[in-house]
Amino acid sequence: MGYEKTVVRNLSRFEARKLGLALLVGCCVVILTYFISMSETSVDQQPSVAYRVRNTEAVEGKIRLQNQERGRKTEDQHGNTADESVHRKNSSTIPHSITKEEKREPKQPEAEKIHAPKREDRMIQMMKPICDLNNPRTEFCEMKGDVRIHGKSSSVVFVSPHQPREEQWKVVPYVRKQMENIPKVTVRAAPNDGASAILPRCTVNQAVPAIVFALGGFTGNYYHDFTDVLLPLFLTARQFDGDVQFLITNIQPWWLLKYQPIIKRLTRYELVDLDHSDEVLCHPHVLVGLRFHNDLIIEPAQAPNAYSMLDFTEFLRGTYSLPRDHAISLREHPTKKPRLLVVERKGKRRFTNVPEIVRMAEASGFEVVRTDAKFGDVAGFASVVNSCDAIMGVHGAGLTNFVFLPKNAVLIQIVPCCELEGMASHTFRFPSSDAGLHYLEYNITVEESTLLDLYPRDHPVFTDPQSLHRQGFFKMGDVYLAKQNVRLDVNRFRPFLLKTMDLLRQ
pLDDT digits (tens, 9 = 90+) for 157-174: 999 877 778 899 999 999
Q: How confident is the model at residue 197 (pLDDT cuts 50, 70, 90)?
A: low
* 200 vs 375, more confident: 200
Is the pLDDT at 134 greater than 80? The verdict is yes
Structure confidence at residue 128 (pLDDT): 61
At residue 158, what are phi and psi to the nearest 5 degrees? -105, 115
Structure confidence at residue 309 (pLDDT): 97
Is the pLDDT at 26 greater than 80? The verdict is no
Beta bridge partners, 131, equal 141
Structure confidence at residue 295 (pLDDT): 95
Structure confidence at residue 506 (pLDDT): 87
For the residues 52-75, what does the mean pLDDT come to?
40
* 35 vs 279, more confident: 279
Is the pLDDT at 79 greater than 50? The verdict is no
CATH level 2 (architecture), domain 319-505: 3-Layer(aba) Sandwich (3.40)
Structure confidence at residue 166 (pLDDT): 86
Which of 2-11, 251-260, 339-348 is predicted least confidently? 2-11
- At position 446, the amino acid (one-letter code) is V
Structure confidence at residue 146 (pLDDT): 94
Structure confidence at residue 320 (pLDDT): 98
| 58-73 b/e (C-beta count within 10 Å ≥ 16 → b) | ebbbebbbebeeeeee
How far apart are alpha carbons 477 and 457 in whole angstroms? 19
Beta strands in 253-330 (DSSP E): 272-273, 280-288
Structure confidence at residue 21 (pLDDT): 56
- pTM score of the predicted model: 0.74
For the residues 336-352, what does the mean pLDDT come to?
93
Residues in the chain: 506
How far apart are alpha carbons 399 and 376 in whole angstroms? 16
**Tens digits of residue pLDDT in 402-448:** 999 999 999 999 999 999 999 999 999 999 999 999 999 999 999 99
**What does pLDDT average to over the chain?**
81
Q: How confident is the model at residue 374 (pLDDT cuts 50, 70, 90)?
A: confident
CA distances from 394 to 213, 294, 343, 398 (A): 32, 22, 8, 8
Beta bridge partners, 187, equal 156, 169
CA distances from 116 to 110, 112, 357 (A): 10, 6, 65
* 219 vs 14, more confident: 219
Structure confidence at residue 394 (pLDDT): 97
Is the pLDDT at 33 greater than 80? The verdict is no
Q: How confident is the model at residue 382 (pLDDT cuts 50, 70, 90)?
A: very high
Helices vs. strands in the chain: H and E counts, helices first: 19, 15
Burial of 497 (0-12, 13-18, 19+ CB in 10 A): buried
Percent of the chain with pLDDT over 70: 74
Is the pLDDT at 148 greater than 80? The verdict is yes
For the residues 99-118, what does the mean pLDDT come to?
39
**Tens digits of residue pLDDT in 390-400:** 999 999 999 99
For the residues 130-156, what does the mean pLDDT come to?
93
For the residues 35-64, what does the mean pLDDT come to?
36
For the residues 231-251, what does the mean pLDDT come to?
97
Is the pLDDT at 47 greater than 60? The verdict is no
Q: How confident is the model at residue 384 (pLDDT cuts 50, 70, 90)?
A: very high
* 347 vs 95, more confident: 347
Structure confidence at residue 7 (pLDDT): 40
Residue 184 region by backbone torsions, left for phi larger than 0, else alpha for psi between -120 and 50, else beta: beta
Structure confidence at residue 72 (pLDDT): 41
Q: How confident is the model at residue 105 (pLDDT cuts 50, 70, 90)?
A: very low
Beta bridge partners, 214, equal 249
